[in-house]
Amino acid sequence: MSNLGTAGAKRSATHLLKANAWFVFAFLYVPIVVLVVFSFNDSERVNVWQGLSARWYGEALGNTQVISALRVSLIVAISSTIVSTVLGTAVALALDRYRFKGRRALDGTVYLPIVIPDITMAVMLLVFFAEAFKLIDTFGPRLTLGVTTVALSHIAFNISFVAVVVRARLDQFDRTLEEAARDLYATPWRTFRRVTLPLIAPGIAAGALLALTLSLDDVVISAFTAGPGATTLPVYVFSTIRQGVTPELNAISTLMLAASITLVVASLALQRPRSTTP
Amino acid sequence: MSSDAVTSASPPGADAGVPAVEMHGISKRFGDVVAVDGIDLQIGDGEFFALLGPSGCGKTTTLRMIAGLDIPSEGRLAIFGEEVASWPPDQRPVNTVFQAYALFPHMTVEQNIAFGLQMRGIRGPDADRQVAEATALVQLEGMEHRRPSQLSGGQQQRVALARALVNHPKVLLLDEPLGALDLKLRQEMQVELKALQREVGITFVFVTHDQEEALAMSDRVGVMSEGRLLQVGTPAEVYEHPANRFVADFIGRTNLLEGITESPSAVRLDAGAVVAAANGLAAGSAAALSVRPEQVRLHRRGETPAGAPCLDGVITDATYLGHAFVYTVAIGPTASASGTNTGERAATITARSETGSAALAAGEPVSVSWSPEATTVVAD
């Protein structure tokens, strides 16, 4: 009798857990599905379904403001990714390899941009640029906020993310391989080129893809550090949404979502240990 | 005698030319830790030399200093007469077989073997021929395009050997190269490695903690403990005439009978009896008499031969090993029946005798003897 009782309790617990799982999935993904579905809605108004159409995608891509914002986004994302990948990898290597003065301090602070709230980081950078411009302007040039300052800000936070990902890869790296290369007549530089770099390359690529994604997605920091004419796509979306959601915004958001998911999946695939190097 | 053994540091064929490796007062400190403490050593051209010792004794650090992977804190180091102590590893005419092989996982077997040649600018048909030769030398034909992860432990080890030997190093350094293999494969590789060394004629310096391996493979052995080189000699020398207590205990099995020297030719054992044993020590110094189990002769009580040192005891354990018996004999006052043992402390002796001789049983009163030449007196 008591056996049947516990079996019943077990069954209802299983049902509850199942229901909970579905609820969580719904909570996470229904808004995304709604966004994607309504981006194909052939209607002027977002909340009225009129039939399937891709017209808002055409509309979005024909909008010169959207295209110029996309251009700024890509310039910022690509340039900040390249610079932060090089610098972040260098930081990871330095922290992994060398014992130098201030190493512990750097080790503790290099990850700070990951935990600092975006808004704090944005204010920080804005104040920094204002002060720096004041100083530089005394020597003549008149500097203003623009694409360059947005890119510099993105480099500032992306270095940390790249450093974290590359260091994870370095943790699994067997230093004896470098000693073997040195023993086999390779100079330090050729050891790095032929042995170290190829083996940590998946980590560097993963870090770079993560940086690209974060740069393409950022709103707060970009909004603060962009001057006129340096509007990125997320900032453009954010500013137009104040006049109400349009189906065109749904289309743009869906495109950004697709780009982000692709990049994140690629990054995760590369981070899988020993996926490309058996 | 013990001091003689320590200073017989020159190889058998050393007078033939410049030593392959020469160390004078080599030390290595890591912070406050002294890993290697003042080593003097000469390794002859073409020698198979083993550095033997327990883990943490400094043998691997010594090898790494020859390779250039660690730089000595002090001392002089020469390879074929050239002072190399401060040279980087890529400029030294030596190559290393690493403990876990350290094969490049992103390269094929062929690319691994060709790496050293490439780094020295040897390319094209000349390089291809040398790689093929090295591959054949270690019998890896047909494996050229595999990745290290697709090879067995034994095959990986051959790649590591080929990758080093293809460069024709003046000295080949091997860091516990057989440690990762299972027993059967290890024994096969011991024979093969020794044959390979004879074939290529290169000086091999070999690090191991396995004393059987060191004795079986090398021309000479250097025994290390706590950063010091305690004894250098042929396997027979270090086995039969260990320089001190550590070497006696570490190399093979031995009976260490504690005592005090009475004269340069006699030792009073704590277990009783004064036995003839040549020693270079001052009378009255604490020492131990080392007698190998296979050198101990067992006699039924009363059948003892005249002239040989002799102790009375009782067999406490007899173990049958197939090819031999191992007996444990309790020696000392409590075991004494005939009254010849006058010492106060008991001792046990392990004896080993071929099967075929009459078997003795536990509890049987016996006498043990040995010939004085078969023993060594060791101090601390």
C-alpha dihedral (A145, A148, A150, A152), degrees to nearest 10: -120
pLDDT at A64: 86
User: B147–A278: do the CB atoms touch at under 8 Å?
Assistant: yes
pLDDT at B203: 95
Residues of chain A falling short of pLDDT 50: 1, 275-278
Q: Is A55 on the interface with B (CB under 8 A)?
A: no
pLDDT at A276: 41
- Two structure tokens written together for B146: 């595999």
What value does the CA radius of gyration of chain B take, rounded to a whole number of Å? 25
Q: Is A189 on the interface with B (CB under 8 A)?
A: no
User: B105–A179: do the CB atoms touch at under 8 Å?
Assistant: no
What value does the CA radius of gyration of chain A take, rounded to a whole number of Å? 24
A with B: how many residue pairs have Cβ under 8 Å apart?
Answer: 65
Q: Which residues contact B327 (CB under 8 A, 6 or more apart)?
A: B298, B315, B317, B318, B319, B350, B351, B352, B353, B360
Residues of chain B falling short of pLDDT 50: 1-15, 334-344
- Find out whether A194 and A181 touch, Cβ atoms under 8 Å: yes
Span(s) in chain B for CATH 3.40.50.300: 2-93+169-245
Whose CA is closest to B176, among B228, B100, B68, B89?
B100
- Strand segments, DSSP code E, in chain B are 21-30, 33-43, 48-52, 74-79, 82-83, 94-97, 171-175, 203-208, 220-225, 228-233, 255-263, 266-269, 274-276, 286-291, 297-300, 310-320, 324-331, 347-354, 365-369, 375-378
- Report pTM: 0.78
Q: Is the ipTM of this complex over 0.90?
A: no
- Two structure tokens written together for A164: 């974290």
- Two structure tokens written together for B123: 């390319």
The CATH code of domain A63-271 reads 1.10.3720.10
Q: Is B353 on the interface with A (CB under 8 A)?
A: no
Whose CA is closest to A88, among A173, A209, A204?
A204
Whose CA is closest to B162, among B213, B110, B104?
B110
- Provide the residue type at B325 as one letter: F
B253-378 CATH fold: OB fold (Dihydrolipoamide Acetyltransferase, E2P) (2.40.50)
- Two structure tokens written together for B359: 């078997």
pLDDT at B95: 96
The CATH code of domain B2-93+169-245 reads 3.40.50.300
pLDDT at B7: 42
Task: State whether residue B143 is helix, strand or coil.
Answer: coil
Phi and psi at B313, nearest 5°, equal -160, -175
Span(s) in chain B for CATH 2.40.50.100: 253-378
Q: Is B376 on the interface with A (CB under 8 A)?
A: no
